Amino acid sequence: MRCTGPFLLLILLVVSLGAGWYHFRDNETVASVAESLTAIASTEGLDTLESLKEGTLDQLGAGSGKNTVREWSNSQGKKLNAVLITSDATDCLIRVVPSQRVFRVPIASLSQADRDYISAQADSKQWQMPEPGASKWPASHDWRNLARRYQVSQSEGRLDIGRYRIHCGDADQERIEAITNICLSVDQAIKTVPLPLTWGKYSEGNRKPVFIHSSDAAYVAAGAPEGSAGFYNTRSGEVHINALQMEGLDLRQDIGQFRLAQRKKYTLLTHELVHQSTPAITHSKLPAWVIEGIAEYFSATQHIPGRFDYHHSQKLVEAYFSQNIEDTDGLVQIKNMRLWPLDTLMSRSMRQWNQVSSDSVGKSHAQGIIQYNQALLLVEYFIHGDNNSFKPFLEAALTGVGYEEAVEKHLLRGQSYSQLQEKLTARWASQGVDLIFQGSPAILLKDFQLEVGL
Ligand SMILES: [Zn+2]
């Protein structure tokens, strides 16, 4: 009896929050990476992409003598079995078999036979060499004033900055600056963490299209779901933002004063920008938790616009979860989190995922939220609680190793899914959160301590 009021309130909050979670990923209509990237490239003002012109990343290494395991040897005569992924003038990328780990190797360190092999394969290369990337996970980044470091050229309601082309409409300058800064921060963040997120990236000459709409009508006309703050169109490669939803976004505020309602808006924008900036992953056939978990990770760790705190990732993830079930500026303490068994969630395709998320019935809708929370929990765990096993996993999965094998080699490493659940449970127990893995998880009032009266 006592619980009825708050429980109904919680359900209403959960349902009302739902609209923001859809993001129009239509995997079934994206025939291949090539097709979708060509669509991105053909958007106004963009040059042809240099990378990923043909074939999906799943097919990388297949055909044209690729995906051929051969014996390699260095100039000291040390030998190993590996597959050539790609190369440039100085380095090559090889995947060592059977460890399925990807390495960047200076071509000069290899035997003459290996060098001949690389030059013979160079013509059939379908993928440009990725940037080396960071070796260590950074503690934090403060890019609140990043936009000021860039040269801006503005004409006809269009702003070219960094690798973005921002169509401003008639949004005011303050909002344009806030949105621009979030775009640049996301672009910078995915480049500076040790994950293969920029593989298959846009070449330097291309700009990522972002549209800022100053009226709901214009925003909806662009194909956006009503009531949302931003969305990414997988076919056009465009991110569309409703500037009205971004009202009051102030880059100077500190975390203590930052309103949760505002935070939800820019976290959604961040989520969509991450999808746009990681095309090789977004357009892969990887299960949904990988694609959504990466987008959620950057949304959760960007605790104010432009400022990422990876060092406190677990605390920020917990704050992000409570934000997702609460619609005021108060605080919610999470006691229990009900989740799907890992083998169920981790094998869910994007199509199955969207079925769960798009079910508008209250209980199922909560399950949509649980999916995103669980994807975030997994990605945060593999990065910060498992010595960044997410890196070799993604590298293997993006270079032609099947998903199941990549999981087995790099994430499970001989453990069962139940053992992995135990490890996750132990990690979160130290934060005072009990993880409960069950067949049909729900969001229940008794799992939260509502801190009323703060
Ligand atoms: Zn998404």
Tell which wins on pLDDT, 110 or 6.
Answer: 110
- Residue 420 has a pLDDT of 98
For the stretch 193-243, pLDDT in tens is: 999 998 765 455 578 999 988 888 999 999 887 667 778 888 888 999 888
- Residue 416 has a pLDDT of 98
pLDDT at 259 over 60: no
pLDDT at 274 over 90: yes
For the stretch 110-150, pLDDT in tens is: 999 999 999 988 766 556 777 777 889 999 999 988 888 88
Q: Which residues contact 440 (CB under 8 A, 6 or more apart)?
A: 367
Tell which wins on pLDDT, 134 or 261.
Answer: 134
Q: How far apart are CA 140 and CA 416, in angstroms?
A: 33
Domains and CATH numbers, the chain: 4-42+132-451 (no CATH), 61-124 (2.30.30.700)
CB-proximal residues (5 Å) to ion ligand 1: 23, 292, 295
- The band of 331, judged by pLDDT with boundaries at 50, 70 and 90, is low
pLDDT at 255 over 60: no
Q: How far apart are CA 63 and CA 229, in angstroms?
A: 43
SS3 assignment, position 415 = coil
Q: How far is the CA of 58 from the centre of ligand 1 (A)?
A: 20
Q: How far apart are CA 345 and CA 339, in angstroms?
A: 9
Find residue 239's DSSP bridge partners.
Answer: 210, 232
pLDDT at 30 over 50: no
Q: How far is the CA of 61 from the centre of ligand 1 (A)?
A: 28
Q: What letter would DSSP give residue 429?
A: H
- Residue 254 has a pLDDT of 45
Q: Which residues contact 308 (CB under 8 A, 6 or more apart)?
A: 140, 141, 143, 185, 189, 298, 301, 302
pLDDT at 154 over 50: yes
With residue 308 as reference, give the H or E element that holds it: strand 307-309
The torsion region of residue 184 among left (phi > 0), alpha (psi -120 to 50) and beta comes to alpha
210 residue type, one letter: V
Q: How far is the CA of 294 from the centre of ligand 1 (A)?
A: 9
Range of weakest confidence among 216-230, 242-256, 322-336, 440-454? 242-256
Q: How far is the CA of 237 from the centre of ligand 1 (A)?
A: 13
Q: How far apart are CA 168 and CA 95, in angstroms?
A: 43
Q: How far is the CA of 433 from the centre of ligand 1 (A)?
A: 25
The predicted model gives 364-377 an average pLDDT of 88
Q: How far is the CA of 292 from the centre of ligand 1 (A)?
A: 5
Q: Which two tokens stand for residue 73?
A: 């040897």
Q: How far is the CA of 73 from the centre of ligand 1 (A)?
A: 42
* Cα–Cα separations (whole angstroms), residue 39 to 35, 53, 98, 453: 6, 11, 36, 52
pLDDT at 28 over 80: no
The predicted model gives 373-389 an average pLDDT of 97
Q: Which two tokens stand for residue 60?
A: 């990388």
Tokens 């200076």 sit at which residue? Answer: 106
Q: Which two tokens stand for residue 67?
A: 């995906």
